């Protein structure tokens, strides 16, 4: 299922073998908590599952960060646990409820179960020789995923069986690697694929009679500015999966709207952000009423009007925050952002104080998308330069 086949075929069917059994579990060693306690720790404070943030943390594995207490307020200090993986982690993908995710290192694919409540990394599928992961997506029903590998593999497809495990017999398709970013809609019915040549493809996803087979139909092709970052690559679906926002390296914003009557996607009028800053990440509010756009000039708040076109409401916001080195920085060039499912907080991963030492910043956001001052920060996190931050 190489790249040329994607353009030539009207429909593709990918079937994951389920007759070979399940892989054994890999190690689940848990790294030390940065402040002496996991969820429920920190002097009796109970962490809120809705304030769970996930991000790749290099050799430390996957960082699971709780930023809210059980009343929905920001904790005075974030609770951080690192889950060791089979290798340094650069790419993760999650379903909206964080029940089933994918962990990708340079050599292995693993699954992350129940990240918001009782996290555990299981399974270990070797992907040695297929390049390095640059993006991944998991469908919301946690039965199927796509992983884009650099160098030689176009799509590396996997499926989950038994609910929380990875199957053997995955389909591996070699071909020229052009896909740099991919994202799945919250309802699991759509996947957006962003190529390095600036073409954006929308694929409909339909489960077949076999629960571990998925058919892709379409695609709808659009020409957009090339991406500047892997992972989701500044692709964001609204909570009801009817709108896709896309940001380009030239400061362009495009909105694509689903026509529920015929299942087609249409593109609204393209707009450009003030100063044409490169877009790295986009996060929709849980209710879909606005989106926050992270650029190298700061944060913008966006809505989509009745014609299906993006509208710039405010920005850029260059918010100050203090990192672990004691210095104050502005929130410029955040590589990935997300909004918690209760809609209260925006979280951003930055490359300060250095490219090897990133800082997670949490700040309040109101119902109109106005972002407040930085509340809490956590430094000494890996900086994968990927749009791969997830929040629940």
pLDDT digits (tens, 9 = 90+) for 267-284: 999 999 999 999 999 999
What are the pLDDT digits (tens) for 213-241?
A: 567 777 788 988 877 888 899 999 999 99
Which tokens sit at 253? 């914003």
Q: Domain 3-32+46-391, CATH 2.130.10.10 — does that match?
A: yes
Q: Do the beta carbons of residue 223 and residue 199 sit within 8 Å?
A: yes
Distance between CA atoms of residues 89 and 84, nearest Å: 9
Mean pLDDT for 246-259 is: 94
CB atoms within 10 A of CB 154: 20
What are the pLDDT digits (tens) for 14-31?
A: 333 222 222 222 334 333
Please name the residues in contact with 142: beta carbons below 8 A apart, sequence gap of 6 or more. Answer: 95, 99, 100, 160, 163, 164
H-type helices in the chain, by residue range?
3-8
Q: Do the beta carbons of residue 196 and residue 3 sit within 8 Å?
A: no
pLDDT of residue 368: 94
What are the pLDDT digits (tens) for 79-130?
A: 999 999 999 998 999 888 888 888 988 778 888 888 888 999 988 888 777 7
Mean pLDDT for 177-201 is: 84
Which tokens sit at 298? 């700061």
pLDDT of residue 229: 83
**For the whole model, what pTM was predicted?**
0.86
What are the pLDDT digits (tens) for 136-167?
A: 888 876 566 667 766 545 556 666 655 545 65
Lowest mean pLDDT: which of 29-33, 130-134, 265-269? 29-33
Percent of the chain with pLDDT over 90: 41
pLDDT of residue 156: 62
Nearest CA to 149 among 124, 176, 122? 176
pLDDT above 90 for 382: no
pLDDT above 50 for 208: yes
């Amino acid at each position: 299922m190489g790249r040329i086949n994607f353009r030539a075929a009207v429909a593709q069917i990918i079937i994951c073998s389920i007759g070979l059994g399940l892989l054994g579990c890999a190690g689940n060693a848990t790294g030390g908590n940065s402040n002496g306690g996991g969820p429920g720790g920190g002097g009796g404070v109970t962490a809120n599952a809705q304030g769970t943030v996930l991000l790749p943390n290099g050799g430390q594995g996957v960082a699971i960060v709780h930023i809210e207490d059980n009343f929905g307020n920001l904790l005075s200090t974030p609770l951080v646990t690192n889950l060791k993986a089979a290798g340094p982690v650069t790419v993760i993908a999650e379903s909206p409820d964080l029940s089933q995710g994918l962990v990708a290192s340079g050599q292995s694919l693993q699954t992350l179960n129940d990240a918001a409540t009782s996290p555990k990394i299981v399974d270990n599928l070797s992907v040695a020789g297929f390049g390095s992961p640059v993006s991944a997506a998991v469908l919301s029903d946690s039965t199927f995923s796509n992983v884009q590998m650099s160098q030689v593999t176009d799509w590396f497809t996997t499926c989950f069986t038994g609910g929380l495990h990875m199957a053997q017999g995955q389909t591996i398709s070699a071909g020229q690697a052009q896909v740099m970013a991919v994202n799945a809609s919250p309802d699991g019915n759509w996947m957006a694929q962003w190529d390095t040549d600036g073409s954006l493809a929308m694929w409909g996803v339909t489960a077949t009679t076999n629960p571990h087979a998925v058919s892709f139909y379409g695609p709808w092709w659009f020409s957009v500015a090339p991406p500047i970052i892997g992972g989701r690559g500044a692709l964001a679906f609204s909570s009801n999966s009817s709108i896709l926002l896309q940001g380009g390296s030239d400061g362009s914003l495009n909105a694509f709207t689903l026509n529920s009557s015929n299942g087609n996607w249409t593109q609204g009028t393209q707009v450009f952000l003030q100063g044409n800053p490169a877009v790295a990440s986009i996060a929709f509010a849980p209710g879909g009423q606005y989106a926050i756009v992270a650029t190298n000039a700061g944060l913008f708040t966006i809505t989509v009007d009745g014609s299906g076109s993006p509208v710039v409401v405010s920005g850029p916001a260059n918010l100050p925050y203090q990192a672990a080195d004691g210095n104050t920085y502005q929130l410029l060039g955040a590589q990935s952002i997300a909004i918690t499912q209760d809609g209260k907080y925006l979280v951003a991963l930055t490359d300060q104080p250095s490219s090897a030492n990133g800082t997670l910043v949490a700040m309040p956001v109101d119902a109109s998308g106005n972002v407040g001052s930085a509340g809490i920060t956590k430094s000494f996190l890996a900086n994968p330069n990927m749009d791969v931050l997830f929040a629940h």
